[in-house]
Amino acid sequence: MEIALLFSLFMSFFRIGLFTIGGGYAMIPLMEAEVITVHGWMNSSEFLDIIAVAEMTPGPVSINAATFIGYTTGGLPGSMFATLGVISPSLILILLFSRLLMRVIQNPSATSFLNGLRSGLIALILLASFTLGQSAVIDLPSALIFAALLIGSVLTKISPLYFIAAGAVLGLILFPY
Amino acid sequence: MQNQEIETSNSLSLWTILVTFLKIGAFTFGGGYAILPVIKREIVENRKWVNDTVFSDILIITQGMPGQLALNSSIQIGVRLRGTLGGITAAMGVTIPSFLILLTIAAYLYPLIRDNIYMEAVFYGIRPAVVALIATAAIKMGRPILHGWNGIILCAVLLVTAIITGIPPILILLIGGLAGLVVCKGACKQ
């Protein structure tokens, strides 16, 4: 049972690492699917909390999220398997297939493939913001926080850290205690 | 790559590589696009381990392949400095700080603060902030990518497909890629 859980944590995060192309928020829809939809390891609110913590701490966001989700799901071994899972595709591709990788990336068809894939990625990230939004935008104050920060982050290039900090402050003020 | 490896091996210890990437992992916030400039400053400008051209090549591969941007570029730099072992060392360096920090938070800090009413208020505000950031990522990524009607229509079709069928995201990505191959075959040049 325990080993089965560790194996599925590793495989889930391996798939997340393997299909996150372009980094950053590209991993959100994949992680949401693996962690919430397929395995039910946590709900949307817990997932958003973990993404926020992963964003506020140093280091790559998806490695941070993998460690945190791995720990809450399977303790210390869980965090190790999830983290190894998310970094393994990069290691394997670069260490074993770097020459093949170069040839594939320089092929014009690869550009067409990646362009099409990115259209799909945008659709998925939009969709993820709707599905995750249902557990975050739950009343008028949270809707106001969402709208204000969305406008701010679309129109400026300020670091995401400040928007999370702003969300925290607004939450303290507007929370229906 | 093989030749460069022979030229530069022995000159740098794995320990130096590890410490450098530990520092990068421990002191940069916000993932990929925030970390890349730090890697560039540290590796290209301060330590002069690789030059600008090599770093640009690394970035091109990094952005066209799966995985974390910071992790991919670190592994590639490690490989150029000390071969396979160098790559693994760089990966460990950039991963270990994340792992230890998040482990500490998940194991000790999070359980302590989770049931506090003020923390609940904080996360009540943070959740819509994160959703706003995710939506922003879609909008900002969309601007350069959805430059033509092909991209916009493909994105819309895939969005509707994902909503109606609920098929896994990986399939949506693959369908998008295959559609890109068919639609862009010679037609859309970048």
Predicted confidence at residue B37, as pLDDT, reads: 84
Over the stretch B114-145, which tens digit does the pLDDT of each residue have? 789 999 999 999 999 999 999 999 998 888 77
Supply A147's token pair. Answer: 């709208």
State percent of chain A over pLDDT 90: 76
Chain B: nearest CA to A19, how far in angstroms? 6
What are the residues whose beta carbons fall under 8 Å from the beta carbon of B168, sequence distance 6 or more? A33, A38
Predicted confidence (pLDDT) at residue B1 exceeds the cutoff of 50 = no
Cβ-nearest to B67 among A90, A169, A173: A90
The residue extents of the domains of chain A are 2-134, 137-177
Chain A residues in contact with B76 (beta carbon < 8 A): 94, 98
Based on its alpha-carbon atoms, the radius of gyration of chain B, rounded to whole angstroms, reads 21
Is B117 close to A22, i.e. CB distance below 8 A?
Answer: no
Over the stretch B38-58, which tens digit does the pLDDT of each residue have? 899 999 999 999 999 889 888
Locate the chain B residue with the closest alpha carbon to A17: B67
Question: Among residues A26, A119, A127, A112, which one has the least CA distance to residue B151?
Answer: A119
Q: Torsion angle of alpha carbons A53, A57, A61, A62, nearest 10°?
A: -70
Is B180 close to A68, i.e. CB distance below 8 A?
Answer: no
For residue A36, what pLDDT band results from cuts at 50, 70 and 90? Answer: very high
Chain A residues in contact with B179 (beta carbon < 8 A): 116, 119
Over the stretch A70-94, which tens digit does the pLDDT of each residue have? 999 999 999 999 999 999 999 999 9
For residue B3, what pLDDT band results from cuts at 50, 70 and 90? Answer: very low
3-state SS, residue B29: strand
Which phi and psi (to 5°) does residue A23 adopt?
Answer: 70, -170
Interface test with B, best of A18, A30, A63, A174 (most B CBs within 10 A): A63
3-state SS, residue B66: strand
Predicted confidence (pLDDT) at residue B2 exceeds the cutoff of 70 = no
B71 interfacial to chain A (CB closer than 8 Å): yes
| Higher-pLDDT residue of A93, B151 | A93
Is residue A83 within 8 Å of residue B95, measured between CB atoms? yes
Over the stretch A101-150, which tens digit does the pLDDT of each residue have? 888 888 888 888 988 898 999 999 999 999 999 999 999 999 999 999 99
Cβ-nearest to A123 among B27, B136, B172: B172
Based on its alpha-carbon atoms, the radius of gyration of chain A, rounded to whole angstroms, reads 18
Predicted confidence (pLDDT) at residue B147 exceeds the cutoff of 80 = no
Is A122 close to B138, i.e. CB distance below 8 A?
Answer: yes
Distance CA A176, CA A12 (A): 37
Supply B53's token pair. Answer: 């051209």
Is residue A115 within 8 Å of residue B175, measured between CB atoms? no
Q: What number is the ipTM of this complex?
A: 0.92
Predicted confidence at residue B158, as pLDDT, reads: 94
Question: Among residues B162, B107, B109, B17, which one has the least CA distance to residue A125?
Answer: B162
Helical ranges in chain B per DSSP H: 2-8, 14-27, 32-39, 52-64, 69-104, 110-113, 117-145, 149-165, 169-183
Over the stretch B157-170, which tens digit does the pLDDT of each residue have? 999 999 999 899 99
Please provide the average confidence, as pLDDT, over all residues in chain B: 87
Chain A: nearest CA to B17, how far in angstroms? 16
Predicted confidence (pLDDT) at residue B188 exceeds the cutoff of 90 = no
Is A60 close to B146, i.e. CB distance below 8 A?
Answer: no
Is B141 close to A171, i.e. CB distance below 8 A?
Answer: no
Please provide the average confidence, as pLDDT, over all residues in chain A: 93
Predicted confidence at residue B111, as pLDDT, reads: 86
Segments of B84-190 assigned E as strands: none
Region B53-64 average pLDDT:
87
Cβ-nearest to B146 among A58, A76, A122: A122
Distance CA B176, CA B156 (A): 11
Chain B: nearest CA to A69, how far in angstroms? 8
